[in-house]
């Protein structure tokens, strides 16, 4: 009976995982569910400009920051829905406790004795044109200098400045 229940649990877990699909833009991260015939249609001719405000981080030093992975989900779900990649403009503004999530494996290992679980995700995002903007105030106050950041990360005067400027460029703020 226990073995049968365990088998059923594994089967259900597998089926729910199969319902999620990674890619087509970020292959290893950002799994999403396909929505067949939604009532509210996605405008595949629109340009989607979005900025994610990332300030929180998981307590587990080996866990991916799901707020960063949201950018991968955004890209994948819209590409799966038929929005061309060129019409997806994504930025992450990182500050506060999430500052540690954008440092190199070497810098992370030096501080936390383990590799940065977000480094491959961030490299994938940067390779697909996602802007990763780091708050200069957090850089200074939390002790994360530019040389410790994953290459491609930009430092701004502040998170507030980057958020205002991106919104002035018609990026829409998403804060989960």
Q: For position 15, what pLDDT does the model report?
A: 46
CATH of domain 2-174: 3.40.1260.10
Q: For position 46, what pLDDT does the model report?
A: 98
What does the pLDDT average to over 35-46? 96
Please tell me which residue, 154 or 14, carries the higher pLDDT value: 154
Percent of the chain with pLDDT over 90: 85
pLDDT in tens, 50-79: 999 999 999 999 999 999 999 999 999 999
Q: Which residues contact 37 (CB under 8 A, 6 or more apart)?
A: none
pLDDT band at 21 (very low <50, low <70, confident <90, very high): confident
DSSP classification of residue 171: P
Q: For position 145, what pLDDT does the model report?
A: 98
Q: Which residues contact 142 (CB under 8 A, 6 or more apart)?
A: 99, 100
8 Å CB contact between 117 and 109: no
Indicate the domain borders of the chain: 2-174
pLDDT band at 16 (very low <50, low <70, confident <90, very high): very low
Residues 149 and 99: their CA atoms lie apart, in Å, by 9
Pairing of strands 172-174, 48-54: parallel
What residue has token string 């080996």? 62
One DSSP character per residue, 94-110 reads E-GGGGGGGB-HHHHHH
Query: How many of the other CB atoms lie within 10 Å of CB of 127?
Result: 11
**Alpha-helical regions (H) of 113-176:** 119-127, 136-142, 159-168
What pTM did the predictor assign?
0.88
Whether the pLDDT of residue 14 is over 50: the answer is: no
pLDDT in tens, 146-172: 999 999 999 999 999 999 999 999 999
Count of all residues that appear for the chain in the document = 176
pLDDT band at 19 (very low <50, low <70, confident <90, very high): low
Query: How many of the other CB atoms lie within 10 Å of CB of 89?
Result: 17
Q: Which residues pair with residue 51 across a beta bridge?
A: 91, 173
Residues 138 and 161: their CA atoms lie apart, in Å, by 13
């Amino acid at each position: 009976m226990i073995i049968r229940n365990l088998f059923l649990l594994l089967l259900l877990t597998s089926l729910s995982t199969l319902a999620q699909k990674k890619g087509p833009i970020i292959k290893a991260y950002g799994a999403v569910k396909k929505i067949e015939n939604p009532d509210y249609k996605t405008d595949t001719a629109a340009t989607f400009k979005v900025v994610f405000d990332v300030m929180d981080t998981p307590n587990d030093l080996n866990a991916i920051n799901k707020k960063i992975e949201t950018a991968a989900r955004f890209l994948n779900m819209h590409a799966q829905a038929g929005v061309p990649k060129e019409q997806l403009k994504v930025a992450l503004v990182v500050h506060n406790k999430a500052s540690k999530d954008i440092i190199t494996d070497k810098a992370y290992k030096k501080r936390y004795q383990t590799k940065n679980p977000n480094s491959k995700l961030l490299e994938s995002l940067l390779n697909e044109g996602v802007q990763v903007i780091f708050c200069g105030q957090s850089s200074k106050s939390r002790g994360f200098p530019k040389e410790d950041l994953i290459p491609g990360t930009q430092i701004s005067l502040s998170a507030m400045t980057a958020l205002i400027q991106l919104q002035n460029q018609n990026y829409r703020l998403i804060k989960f």
